[in-house]
């Protein structure tokens, strides 16, 4: 299939969402709906994707630019300044881009479950010259609200009857439903889009009228039936957003289970569409993978873990952990209640334990930050042990400073390393120290006040307090 174009309609108000944001910006498993449709179109072989924006145009345009500015995909936004219907939106897109050839599929921006395979087949349905247009049809369990398609004996579309125009008998007997998406021969679409009129109660230009227009020119118009009705479901409310999110969750989790991933409770694991998980990894309840996450084999994920744009190698244990833009190599142990902030890189066999926060730091091979510590802007060598309550003091109120910790260093509990800091290989830092100077290799560093004991002081102190009552 060559020169296929997808026009994605994303200009609507989405009033039923009751939102201050564009409807298509709302997320399914952490990914904006408009990106689900655009990514499926790209994967389905569309060389060009045109997003028609209108309401909240800047917001939708920003989503597209952030996602596709550096990609090979040709994605562009065209603004429909006057929202005069779907036919008008397509006309605006054609005039702005000059598209007048090849298959053109018109998709709705709130159709997150449509797959790349379906879009490819949809575009191909008008690429062989047998049909000038095809309408995307489904057979949902409850057809109420959908336009009904009446097919002629030769399989072409005879009529499209809107729900409000159906007789009770038609509503009961006609199950082929129009999902509101169309594929066109691009040349014929460009030649006749100007014939769509607005002689209706709303005064709008409706794209479905193109079917009758093409038929009037002697062109064949057919139905493209999608066997999985869920691919044609749209989002118009918060309830539908939740329903489609659950469908997407189940579909992804079923695919992962087919690939050898274990889910303790699939209904409580939310894995984004751009994430991968290796064989024999176990996903515990309340695990969330958002953005592009890649987890290797034989890992334990969760419970109560949220990874965003994070990669993990094989054999990792990631328990009650939040990780954002982090990289974990093999056999890394995190949590419970660990927080890995952007720029964290944990090498093979390293550990971030209970109530540990790490930011923009490298934790060396086999090094451990077991509990109650903050490590920021630090490069740590291999075999390091950080005692409980240790902190690299990286911020002076204006600038961030770096700390370098060598190999095989032992840091005692409740230690403050004031950056810029340097601790050499094999050094030992005594518990309770405040380290403000470089520590040479193989040295003992003690940076604390001398202990002083006053005999009998405690008894006299409490006697005096009790006498004050």
Model confidence at 72, pLDDT cuts 50, 70, 90, reads confident
42 cis-preceded (ω within 30 degrees of 0): no
| CATH node for 260-445 | 2.160.10.10
| Confidence band of 351 (pLDDT split at 50, 70, 90) | very high
| Per-residue model confidence (pLDDT) at position 278 | 98
User: pLDDT at residue 174 above 90?
Assistant: no
The answer, yes or no, to whether residue 87 has pLDDT greater than 90, is yes
pLDDT at 1 over 80: no
Sorting pLDDT into bands at 50, 70 and 90, what band is 170? confident
Q: Is 464 helix (H, G, I), strand (E, B) or coil?
A: helix
pLDDT at 154 over 90: no
* Tokens describing residue 408: 């095989």
What DSSP string runs through 297-317?
Answer: SS-EE-SSEEEES-EE-TT-E
The structural domains of the chain, with segments of one domain joined by +, span 4-232, 260-445
**pLDDT in the model for residue 312:** 98
Distance CA 12, CA 9 (A): 8
Q: What angle do CA 363, 366, 372 make, to 5 degrees?
A: 60
Confidence class for position 389, pLDDT limits 50, 70, 90:
very high
Q: What is the pLDDT of residue 249?
A: 98
Residues with catalytic roles: 371
Residue 75 has pLDDT above 90, yes or no: yes
Report the pLDDT value the prediction gives residue 201, as an integer from 0 to 100: 80
- Mean pLDDT for the chain overall: 95
* Rounded Cα–Cα distance for residues 317 and 284 (Å): 11
The CB density around residue 278, as the number of other CB atoms within 10 Å, is 19
147, pLDDT greater than 90: no
Write out the binding residues for UDP-N-acetyl-alpha-D-glucosamine: 9-12, 23, 80, 85-86, 147, 162, 178, 236, 341, 359, 374, 385
Structure tokens at 251: 């579909």
pLDDT mean over 95-105: 95
Q: How far apart are CA 400 and CA 68, in angstroms?
A: 32
Question: 4-232 with 260-445: one CATH topology?
Answer: no
* Residue keyed to tokens 């499926």: 40
Annotated binding site for Mg(2+): 110, 236
- pLDDT grade, residue 2 (50/70/90)? low
Q: Extract the annotated binding site.
A: 9-12, 23, 80, 85-86, 110, 147, 162, 178, 236, 341, 359, 374, 385, 388, 394-395, 413, 431, 448
Chain-centroid distance of CA 313 in Å reads 20
CATH architecture of 4-232: Alpha-Beta Complex (3.90)
Are the C-beta atoms of residues 306 and 290 closer than 8 Å to each other? yes
**Which one-letter DSSP state was computed for residue 20?**
S
pLDDT digits (tens, 9 = 90+) for 203-252: 899 999 999 999 999 999 999 999 999 999 999 999 999 999 999 999 99
> Considering the entire predicted model, what is its pTM?
0.91
Q: Which residues are annotated as a binding site for acetyl-CoA?
A: 388, 394-395, 413, 431, 448
């Amino acid at each position: 299939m060559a020169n296929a174009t997808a026009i994605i309609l994303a200009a609507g108000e989405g009033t039923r969402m009751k939102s201050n944001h564009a409807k298509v910006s709302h997320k399914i498993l952490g990914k904006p709906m408009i990106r689900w449709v655009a990514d499926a179109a790209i994967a389905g072989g569309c060389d060009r994707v045109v997003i028609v924006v209108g309401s909240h145009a800047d917001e939708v345009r920003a989503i597209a630019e952030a996602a596709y500015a550096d990609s090979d995909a040709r994605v562009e936004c065209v603004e429909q300044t006057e929202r005069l219907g779907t036919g008008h939106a397509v006309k605006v897109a054609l005039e702005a881009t000059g598209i007048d050839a090849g298959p053109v599929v018109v998709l709705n921006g709130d159709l997150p479950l449509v797959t790349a395979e379906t879009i490819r087949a949809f575009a191909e349905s008008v690429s062989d010259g047998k049909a000038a247009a095809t309408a995307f049809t489904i057979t949902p369990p409850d057809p109420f609200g959908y336009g009904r398609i009446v097919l002629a004996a030769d399989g072409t579309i005879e009529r499209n009857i809107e729900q409000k125009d159906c007789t009770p008998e038609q509503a009961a007997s006609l199950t082929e439903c129009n999902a509101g998406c169309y594929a066109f021969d691009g040349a014929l679409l460009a030649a006749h889009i100007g014939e769509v009129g607005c002689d209706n109660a709303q005064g709008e230009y409706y794209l479905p009228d193109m079917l009758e227009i093409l038929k009037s020119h002697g062109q064949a118009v057919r139905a493209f039936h999608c066997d999985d009705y869920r691919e044609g479901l749209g989002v118009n409310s918060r309830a539908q957003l939740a329903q489609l999110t659950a469908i997407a969750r189940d579909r992804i989790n079923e695919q992962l289970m087919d690939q050898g991933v274990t889910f303790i409770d699939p209904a409580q694991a939310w894995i984004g569409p751009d994430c991968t998980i290796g064989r024999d990894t176990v996903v515990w309840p309340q695990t969330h993978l958002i953005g592009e996450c890649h987890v290797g084999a034989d890992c334990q994920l969760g419970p109560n873990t949220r990874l965003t744009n994070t990669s993990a190698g094989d054999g990792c244990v990631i328990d009650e952990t939040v990780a954002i833009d982090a990289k974990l190599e093999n056999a890394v142990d995190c949590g419970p209640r660990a927080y890995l902030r952007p720029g964290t890189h944990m090498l093979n066999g390293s550990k971030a334990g209970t109530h540990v926060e790490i930011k923009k730091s490298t934790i060396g091979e086999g090094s451990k930050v077991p509990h109650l510590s903050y490590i920021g802007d630090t490069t740590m060598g291999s075999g390091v042990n950080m005692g409980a309550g240790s902190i690299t003091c990286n911020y002076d109120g204006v600038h961030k400073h770096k700390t370098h910790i060598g190999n095989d260093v032992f840091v005692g509990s409740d230690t403050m390393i004031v950056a810029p800091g340097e601790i050499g290989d094999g050094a030992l830092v005594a518990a309770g120290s405040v380290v403000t100077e470089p520590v040479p290799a193989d040295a003992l560093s003690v940076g604390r006040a001398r202990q002083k004991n006053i005999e009998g002081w405690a008894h006299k102190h409490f006697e005096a307090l009790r006498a004050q009552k």
